[in-house]
Amino acid sequence: DAGVIQSPRHEVTEMGQEVTLRCKPISGHNSLFWYRQTMMRGLELLIYFNNNVPIDDSGMPEDRFSAKMPNASFSTLKIQPSEPRDSAVYFCASRRLAGGPYEQFFGPGTRLTVL
Amino acid sequence: QKEVEQDPGPLSVPEGAIVSLNCTYSNSAFQYFMWYRQYSRKGPELLMYTYSSGNKEDGRFTAQVDKSSKYISLFIRDSQPSDSATYLCAMSAEKTSYDKVIFGPGTSLSVIP
């Protein structure tokens, strides 16, 4: 069974460019999470969706960040324009709403570097 | 004060040692307590979880929760070099489908052969 799939795995871009990160959750999972991890701030929840609906985006740092989930098997996190301080590892995770919080599975992450 | 606090380490121990990793928290509504292990350049993966108070053992790993002190621990017996990773504690109230999992910053562990 495939786990959470994220693409790209690595992204290097220049300041001001648009960045789009992609996530495919585990089949049957109806809750999806976007996290950002840095040495300074640890693992931060940016936004999460239940049944494709955004529930809490209070962790999105600025209006430059946006996320969508057009269907149950795909989500995107977009940064426009990107800045060097956005450099981090971005994780997508998914779980079944009917399950417990311990059923949250993480993807391998996208390592973003903004020059 | 952060909701979940954890000593970031790094912690370095010789192979075979007993390792103790700890977290404190401030939200008394937390009911689920989880430990994730994260290898370098990988995503976190669930190691074990506990519901409410008490102990739980899984092989060389033991998780303890003391809700009266708002303190949780993970013990690793007979530590192995393959245990070298970052360990993140995580907690959730999970009273509604809107409750979030809150992660600690993680403790970096190195087990030296």
Query: In this predicted structure, what is the pLDDT of residue B98?
Result: 67
DSSP state of B3: S
pLDDT value for A103: 87
**Rounded Cα–Cα distance for residues A44 and A29 (Å):** 21
Contact B3, B101 (CB under 8 A): no
Q: Is the pLDDT of residue B21 over 70?
A: yes
Task: Report the largest interatomic distance among the alpha carbons of chain B, rounded to a whole angstrom.
Answer: 45
CB within 8 Å: A100 and B105: no
Tokens describing residue B72? 């949780």
The answer to whether the beta carbons of residues A22 and A6 sit under 8 Å apart is yes
Chain CA centroid to CA A107, Å:
9
The alpha-carbon gap from A58 to the nearest alpha carbon of chain B, in Å, equals 12
The pLDDT of residue A67 is: 98
Closest CB from B34, B105, B106 relative to A102: B34
The whole-number average pLDDT for the span A36-51 is 93
Tens of pLDDT along B64-88? 999 999 999 999 999 999 999 999 9
Question: A53: nearest CA in chain B?
Answer: B98
Question: What pLDDT score does A62 carry?
Answer: 87
Assign A66 a pLDDT band (cuts: 50, 70, 90).
very high
Give CA–CA dist A57/B23, Å, rounded: 26
CB contact under 8 A, B34 and A56: no
Tell me the two tokens of residue B105.
């910053």
Instruction: Give the 3-state secondary structure of residue B80.
Output: coil
Strand-pairing partners, residue B107, are: B87
How far apart, in whole angstroms, are the C-alpha atoms of residue B91 and residue A71? Answer: 28
The predicted pLDDT at position A34 comes to: 98
- Measured in angstroms, the CA of A22 and the nearest CA of chain B are apart by 15
Contacts of B41 in chain A (CB under 8 A): 109, 111
Percentage of chain A modeled with pLDDT above 90: 87
A6, A12, B19, B63 from A110: Cα distances, Å:
7, 10, 31, 30
Residue among B45, B97, B100 whose CB faces A106 most closely: B45
